[in-house]
């Protein structure tokens, strides 16, 4: 029995280590974005630390014609660009705009087209700015369409010099067996935030 004591001691150490690691596995210590995407799976959009550096009035190209000019703005939920635009992937996408100017009111303009899918001829897109609803648009597959939405004053006041745009796609689709992180809905061609004259 006593000859085996060191072995039993080692077994106890290994067992304690393994139990401790299991405890750690059950108690992750992660940022909120990580938890939402990987653990709770409450979003398909994993927020990335893009700079979002922007000048009000600047038009951001989301096609591949001039390389990926949109990369600094794409916080999450985008794939591309291609010549036809940048695909939204998942159920939500986000764009970040951080600008030095001040503007009492802003207008969001963008051009988009719905992804070709016979069972879903149109895509509804809900737009929010800094968490405040901006509007809802319906996009079809026929040709790129332009949209113009006023950013509410309360959204601008909520985060001065910063607009976090969120696009929700309630009708996004994915083939069976493919996760909701790969759902498709629209392609974005360009976007701009225009300051309105005082």
Partner 1 sequence: MTTAIPAPISATRSMPVGLAVVSIPLLFVVLGLAIRYAAFYTGHPGATAAEFAQGLCRWDCGWYVRIAETGYDPFPVPTMINAGNWAFFPFYPTVIGVLRLIFVGAPTMVIATVASIIFTWIAVVVAWPLFERNWRAYTLYAAFLLSGPFSIYFTTFYTEVMFLLLITCVFAALKRQNYLLAGCFAALLSATRIVGVFIVFAIVLQAYLDHRAQGGTFKSFLTTIWTRTDLLLGIFIAPLGLFIYMAFLHYKIGDALAFQHDQRAWGRVTGSPFGYLWKALTNFPGSGFIPSASQQLAVGSIAGIALSIWLGFRKQLPAAVFCGICLVLPLFAGMASMMRFVAGLPPLSIELMKLLSRNKVSTVLFLLLFLVLDFEFTLGWLGGALALV
If one counts every other C-beta atom within 10 angstroms of the C-beta of residue 158, the result is 15
Rule CB under 8 A: say whether 51 interacts with partner 1: no
Cβ proximity to partner 1, 154 vs 182, nearer residue: 182
**CA separation, residue 42 to residues 9, 18, 38, 45, 174 (Å):** 44, 30, 9, 9, 17
- Give the shortest CB-95-to-partner 1 separation in angstroms: 14
Window 88-127: residues binding partner 1 (CB under 8 A) = none
Among 49, 118, 160, 197, binds partner 1 (CB under 8 A): 49
Alpha-carbon Rg for the chain, nearest whole angstrom, is 23
Among 100, 118, 160, 177, binds partner 1 (CB under 8 A): 177
**82 vs 98: CA distance, rounded Å:** 25
**18 vs 15: CA distance, rounded Å:** 5
Closest C-alpha among 119, 184, 189 to residue 147: 189
Rule CB under 8 A: say whether 136 interacts with partner 1: no
Cβ proximity to partner 1, 70 vs 139, nearer residue: 70
59 secondary structure, DSSP code: E
Among 36, 50, 64, 150, binds partner 1 (CB under 8 A): 50
Cβ proximity to partner 1, 25 vs 143, nearer residue: 25
Q: Provide the token pair at 197.
A: 């004259």
Window 5-44: residues binding partner 1 (CB under 8 A) = 7-8, 10-11, 14-15, 17-18, 21, 24-25, 28-31, 33-34, 37-39, 41
Terminal Cα distance for the chain, rounded: 89
**Which residues contact partner 1 by CB under 8 A?**
4, 7-8, 10-11, 14-15, 17-18, 21, 24-25, 28-31, 33-34, 37-39, 41, 46, 48-50, 76, 177-179, 181-182
């Amino acid at each position: 029995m006593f000859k085996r004591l060191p072995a039993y001691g080692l077994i106890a150490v290994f067992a304690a280590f393994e139990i401790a690691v299991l405890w750690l596995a059950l108690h992750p210590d992660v940022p909120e974005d990580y938890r939402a995407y990987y653990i709770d799976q409450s979003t398909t959009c994993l927020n990335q630390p893009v700079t979002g550096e922007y000048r009000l009035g600047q038009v951001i190209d989301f096609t591949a014609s001039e390389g990926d000019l949109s990369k600094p703005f794409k916080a999450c939920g985008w794939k591309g660009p291609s010549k036809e635009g940048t695909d939204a992937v998942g159920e939500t996408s986000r764009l970040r705009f951080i600008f030095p100017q001040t503007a009492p009111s802003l207008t969001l303009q963008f051009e988009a087209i719905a992804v070709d899918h016979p069972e879903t001829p149109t895509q509804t897109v809900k737009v929010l700015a800094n968490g405040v609803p901006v509007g809802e648009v319906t996009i079809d597959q026929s040709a790129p369409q332009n949209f113009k939405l006023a950013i509410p004053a309360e959204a601008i006041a909520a985060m001065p010099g910063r607009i976090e745009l969120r696009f929700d796609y309630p009708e996004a689709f994915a083939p069976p067996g493919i996760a909701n992180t790969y759902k498709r809905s629209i392609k974005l061609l360009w976007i701009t935030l225009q300051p309105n004259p005082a």
